[in-house]
Structure 1
Amino acid sequence: MFTRHQAMTKSKRATASLPEAPGARFRLPRSESSVLTADDGELLMGHTERLLCAPTAPYAEDAALAVVESFAAARPTLVRRRDPHGNLLLTWPGNGRTSKAPQLAFSAHLDHPGFHYRGMRDGRRRASFHGGVPLEYMVGGDVRFFDPKTHAACATARVRRAEKRPDGTAMCELSRFRGRARRGMFGAWDLTPGRISGRRFRGRVCDDLLPAAASLALLDLLAERRHPRPVTAIFTRAEETGFVGCVGLLRSGLLGRALGDVHVIGLECSPRRTTAKVGLGPVIRVGDGRTVFDPAICAHLQTAAATLAKKRGGFPVQRALMDGGSCESTAYNLWGVPAGGLCLALGNYHNTGPQQTIAEEFVDWFDFEGLLALMLEAASAWPGPRQPPLRAALNERWQKEYKLLAASARRTAQT
């Protein structure tokens, strides 16, 4: 029988024998294209590095949750709430004054398509895959497994075969297995956590840890500016398997109990489109592959972008229906919580690279900075004027034209 010390020693030896993990490089690019100050850019990069170095998968978001929990613990002014399903809400409380206006929240998820180790069967090691990746991309992909309790790497492997079971589960047979793993361990593609080359940022998990990092930076910036209104950052789990964490949050009733009337801006990385390209700015997302989003929130985001453009003498932004997938804004709207969307145009969505290979996702770093800038402006200007600018413009047009309309109406009434 092994003593605990012997078991730990054996585990450390097994871990030490693993192939070296891909390197990372979290360093701000040098460019005049930045829409943030140098300090705010460094703030965003710091949160990005901490979150993206945390391995994650659906139902195994422990490491990413620990980063968010640590962030909250270091900032006692934030109000922390957790629902029964492990979703986290962090609220900047503002000045404490009550307001009839709905509260604003930003929502990002902490999971990414990944593996659950299933052990040995018929002499073959297996793992189930959770999330949307075509089977033909998986074969040949390298995987690194982690202990959800310690967040440490425990094994590596390669996908030898992948098949879809009758129940819809993707099951993978593993080869080249090194290290030690047991049921309950989870896996992620063995790719760099993050690396910048030029203005392009590549990483194992851009979707959706980059927007989650932007949410952390937003809370810091709101606190620094002593923003008077409450703003909440929502961090959900298990989005990649059908918004399971978000639906749990909505079913729990926590949003209504804690925040009352709340409007949500869903944050995502979404597959690039001809109408939304990498490098042309963050995207105001008017809808996804299933639904269109709340028009008032979309209008507020457009006004915020126009304000930034006026302040800066230009602000690159895109507006598009991002129908390459669905996102949690659809779930919020279906449960009666008005929701809009912001996203980054994403390359290699869900790690699907060229020629059916597994590769890092990528975004443009300055699109990412623009996302944070737009979030900050949208929060600062919330809830905006009672009469949206477009409605005001239409009323102004009415005042100029209504006499002609009235005269022609009298004429048509006589015919």
Structure 2
Amino acid sequence: MINRAKIYPLYKEFYHGQGLDSEDALADLYRFAIFYDQLIHAETGIQELNPILRHINAMDSRVVYPYFFMMLEMTSTGEVSQDDVIEVAQIMESYLFRLKVCQLPTNGLNRMVIALCDKAKAVGDYRARLVSLLNASFPDDKKFADSLMNVNLYSLRNNLVKLALVVLEESRTKETIDFDDAQVEHIMPQRLNNDWRIELPNANRINEEMGGVIGNLTLTKYNQEMGNKVYSEKKEVYQTSNVSLTREIAAEYPTWNKESIVKRTEQLAQELISIFPRPVDTLQVEDISGEHTITESIDITGKKPTRLTISDEDIPLDSWRKMLISFMEYIWQLDSRNYEKIKGDSSLNKMLFASQRVPEILDNGTSIETNFSANVVLALISKIAEICDIADEVSYTIK
């Protein structure tokens, strides 16, 4: 990841390194400014790509733009086909949507995008390169479906639930629909009145458990009219809705209760699994030697660390134990209060400070436990980095 303050100095270095003059540089910036405009407005001239970009923009995932800059430029020069770009965009869209629904961290995307922009490592097969890099952290169908059943999708950022409902509707009509003025409707309303409690005796508990899952939500343009009417009254309105997703509710569910919400959530989850599929990696597992972000989910058993990088500072290593010690030394120097944050986490405090079999005395006089497997060391550093708010700045290199 490039620090914002270093962008201009790095660009000057690039400018001189490429032997550019002012006209070349302006032409280069103009070309990519056009790509940027195409991305933010989802108007690329590639019909099937535009709705994918609208969805990515709705998820507020512009961190992937540099990758699409590269793909659009290669399309313009004929280096890749439009079909190639559409295919990798669909994979990225699925990855981002599943990541957000499963509430998994996205702070490793910066370095992943940098890796994706390394054309040499793609060896011409950009789909295979993308799938290989995303594979370890790509939520599988079960985790995705479980999250849809249990996560309050309505409460997630960027109105993710509206995007989910819109793409479900689009999949039924095969058309792009303008739902800018549509609202998300709770079938069982957020605020229950006595009529709901009479019609469904355990309504409060059901609403608390499942009121925000996708099975209890739909789209409407008359949310105010619906209010908190009981289902028997809402169903009559749903029957005449111009939204197929909403009409189906009235046709398929004579009553609305927990079983109805579970059944509809399962149905919609299967549809979303098809709309946002997890790609199959048809290649052999890629050699994981090289640099990785601290948040990547990979098995490093049998690998040896050679370098820890924090905020562009490289620390040479020869063992996982040394990596943990070096990291703990660094965060103390960064801010001595970081240790209090770590000790405030019960599991970290127990593992590092409370019980010590193979202790190491650090430069500040603090003693920490160091007898951990490679994968546990990574997990410890990753968690500490998140607590200290530097996860985006930490990476390591293995061989």
Q: Shorter-chain-normalised TM-score: which range? A: under 0.3
Structure of greater Rg: 2
Higher helix share: 2
Normalising by structure 1, we get a TM-score of 0.27
Q: Per chain length, whose mean CA-contact separation is higher, i.e. which structure has more relative contact order (CA < 8 Å, sep 6+)?
A: 1
TM-score of the aligned structures, taking structure 2 as reference length: 0.27
Greater share of strand residues, 1 or 2? 1
